[in-house]
Structure 1
Amino acid sequence: MTAGRKRMRIAIMGAGALGGYFGARLAEAGHDIWFIARGAHLEAMQAKGLRVESPLGDMHINPVQATHDPADVGPVDVVLFMVKNRDVEPAGEQIRPMLGPDTMVVTCQNGVTAWERLSQVIGAQHVVPGVARIPGEVSAPGVIRHTAPMDTLIFGEADGRPSDRVEALRAALEAAGTSPMVPDNILHELWSKFCSQAALASLTTLTGLDVGPLRDNPVSMKLFKDAIIETETLARAIVPGLPDDMLERDWAFVARLPPTMHASMLDDRRRGKPIEHEYLSGDVVRLGERHGVPTPIHSVLYAALKPIADQLEADAG
């Protein structure tokens, strides 16, 4: 820990690929990190620590502080809230023992609704919206595979004001060797990612293809771009002041992705796990209906994914 820099007490709620990676970097930098996990992944961390394989440098954190019960942890400075969208409300109830008066909870779910849903559970004063841009997976229990040299966590107060708590976490993540960003308007970042992510997740999951073939074929590329434009039109009806060049920036991000990259929702489908379609194309459709914005492309994507999602839910019991 660098002299003069505060040692933070941070809980990782949902220590999968994203939470495991950022938590390991922060633990290696000397912060007091607790990992909240379950099942074989938790057992492996408790027995052998947490290993991260990354193009930015491998790590092996051993021993680690890992538990299934937030009550074991007690109040913390920060909760990196990295559970699946479907678990936002129940996990919000579970983290109550870790909340002190000034605890900041950073949401990192796909989509645009998680931070508001969590605010209804634990109070808006705790919640800071965030956007994670990092590819990775739990390749084996206790092992995180970070698959490309990108590890950006973007976060900020929902009202755009500067705050000491946001700056403290930004400084900690930067000192730990990751790439944090605190934008002027986090809601712009949230919606910018949503516009590209909703299209990327639905198209890769539905076709079973990586982004390369979808991006490089002129016909599917047009569909991809049109799906982004559709969500951007919705965004402009909801969020004021979005940048004029958002489509260009979103497509530039898609263009930089490795051709073998695909959404984690496709990994979930392949592994027989429930998928997050309701919070991607599903939310595009519902928000479009609420705000009077037509969403024909995402309506088709959502409808095509729905029976797949229903079957996965049934198989999962």
Structure 2
Amino acid sequence: MKIMIMGAGAVGGYFGARLAASGEDVTFIARGAHLDAMRTNGLRIESPNGDLTVPVKATDDPAEAGTADLILFLVKLYDTDIGIEAIRPAVGEHTVVASFQNGVSAREALTAAFGARRTAGGTAYIAADVREPGVIRHSAAFARLVFGPYEDTDRAPLDAFAKAMEKAGASYELVDDISRRVWEKFVFLSAFSAITSLTRLPIGPILADPLSRELFTDAISESLAVAKVHEPTVSQDLIEANLNMVSNASPRMRSSMLDDLTRGKRLELPFLSGKVVELGAAAGIPTPVHRAAYAALSPWRDGPPSIP
């Protein structure tokens, strides 16, 4: 099958490289120095699951790649509209676009652009970053994609993608409840991003301090209350499950939003804590922790604020 990785950063780069190495037809959409390095030297993966360097097809113009069977949509949330317009030439009658973005707003945007039959959902579970242009550093043994159809999605490309992941030896789960999975990840990620970014700390010191641990727990609770309004099947046990998960993770585990903050990049803040605040207000649910996080981090949302 023809697979397009729209937004070939850490997540798309890792899984796309594994697929390309197994012989799948993968096109990477990237830009700048990262694109130049991929074109010149291929894509290198440094991973506890095995290092890999693979020659890849890479471009900054999706139209060059032709029609794709499946597009893994991985752009930052603030680039969603730009990304949608960019991939239009690659979306054919039987193409499915699966968002693996953070947040919960992608489904509505993709459905409006391409229709419900061409829209699918997904979540990614991986600790990775772009160490340098053309090099993806995978820093933990786990790396898994969870994906699936919504009610009206054409399932055939997703079934084919599952077979491709199997062939590549990559961990995946094809599910029938992807809406629940997306909302459950949003509950964790919105809280995790808020508290790690507010404290400028990885999860270890946050959990070790009773006050910051309580703040993190309260942030999860707020996100969960909002999520239950929109997806009633979300598990009520998410608070305990998320605390158990991070307690067993590396104490150096940190959010991508904290990485963006420390590197002076634009933040996905409006789509995480900002979205919790927005949805909470609409449902009459108090969200004081996320409101404080949104307000405190807002000066940094477009990069470091200028100080006269």
Sort the TM-score into its range (normalised by shorter chain): over 0.9
Give the alignment's TM-score, normalised by structure 2. 0.95
Contact 2:195 2:215 survives alignment (8 Å): no
State whether residues 13 and 35 of structure 1, in contact with CA within 8 Å, keep that contact through their aligned partners in structure 2. yes
Other-structure match for 2:267: 275
Partner in structure 2 of residue 43 of structure 1: 36
Aligned-residue sequence identity (percent) comes to 46
Letter in 1 for 2:12: G
Q: State the match for 1:4 in structure 2.
A: none
Deviations 1:233-287, CA, capped at 9 Å, x for gaps: 1111121222332323222222232111100111111111101111110000001
Deviation digits for residues 155-209 of structure 1 (CA, Å, limit 9, x no counterpart): 1112288933222212211221221112331111111111111111111112110
Matched ranges for 1:225-264 at <5 A:
225-264=217-256
- The aligned counterpart of 1:148 is 140
- Separation in 1 of the partners of 2:289 and 2:122? 27
- 2:164 aligned partner: 172
Checking the alignment, whether the CA contact within 8 Å between 2:71 and 2:95 is kept in structure 1 is yes
1:109, CA displacement in angstroms? 1.0
Whether 1:290 aligns to 2:279 is no
The alignment partner of 1:196 has SS state of: helix
Within the candidate set 112, 117, 120, 2:109 is matched to: 117
Q: Is 2:215 the counterpart of 1:223?
A: yes
Whether 1:129 and 2:160 are equivalent positions in the alignment is: no
Matched residue SS, 1:34: strand
Question: d(CA) in 2 for partners of 1:297 and 1:272?
Answer: 23
Q: How many residue pairs align between the two structures?
A: 307
Which of these residues, 199, 216, 224, is aligned with residue 191 of structure 2? 199
- Residues 65-84 of structure 1: matches in 2 within 5 Å? 65-84=57-76
Code of the residue aligned with 2:13 in structure 1: it is G
1:59 to 52, 69, 87: 52
Match of 2:10 among 12, 17, 21: 17
Contact 1:192–1:250 (CA under 8 A) maintained in structure 2:
no
2:226 is paired with a residue of what secondary structure? helix
CA gap of 1:255–1:162, structure 2 versus 1, over 3 A, is farther
Match of 2:84 among 82, 92, 99: 92
CA contact (8 A) 1:89 1:121 kept: no
Inter-CA distance 33–302: structure 2 relative to 1 (3 Å threshold): same
Partner amino acid, structure 2, of 1:301: A
Partner SS for 2:140? coil
Matched, 1:101 2:93: yes
Distance (Å, rounded) in 2 between the aligned partners of 1:69 and 1:237: 39
How many Å separate the matches in 1 of 2:306 and 2:73? 27
CA distance in 2, matches of 1:191, 1:72: 34
Structure 1 residues 230 and 255, CA, compared in 2 at 3 Å: closer, same or farther?
same
1:70–1:94 Cα contact (<8 Å) kept: yes
- Maintained 8 Å contact 2:120/2:153: no
Q: C-alpha distance in 2, partners of 1:16/1:147?
A: 15
**What amino acid sits opposite 1:295 in the alignment?**
T
Structure 1 residue 311: deviation in Å?
A: 5.1
After TM superposition, give the deviation of residue 310 of structure 1 in Å.
4.7
Amino acid at match of 1:65: K
1:100 is displaced (CA, Å) by 1.3
Deviation (angstroms), 1:97? 1.1
Structure 1 residues 206-215 or 119-128, which shifts more? Answer: 119-128
C-alpha distance in structure 1 between counterparts of 2:173 and 2:249, whole Å: 19
Task: In structure 1, list runs of 5 or more residues that go unmatched.
Answer: 1-7
Check whether the contact 2:267–2:303 (CA below 8 A) recurs between aligned residues: no
Q: Call closer, same or farther: CA 1:41–1:118 in 2, change over 3 Å.
A: same
Cα distance change on mapping 1:121 and 1:245 into 2, 3 Å: same
**Residue 314 to residue 127, structure 1, CA distance change in 2 (3 Å):** farther
SS at match of 1:150: strand
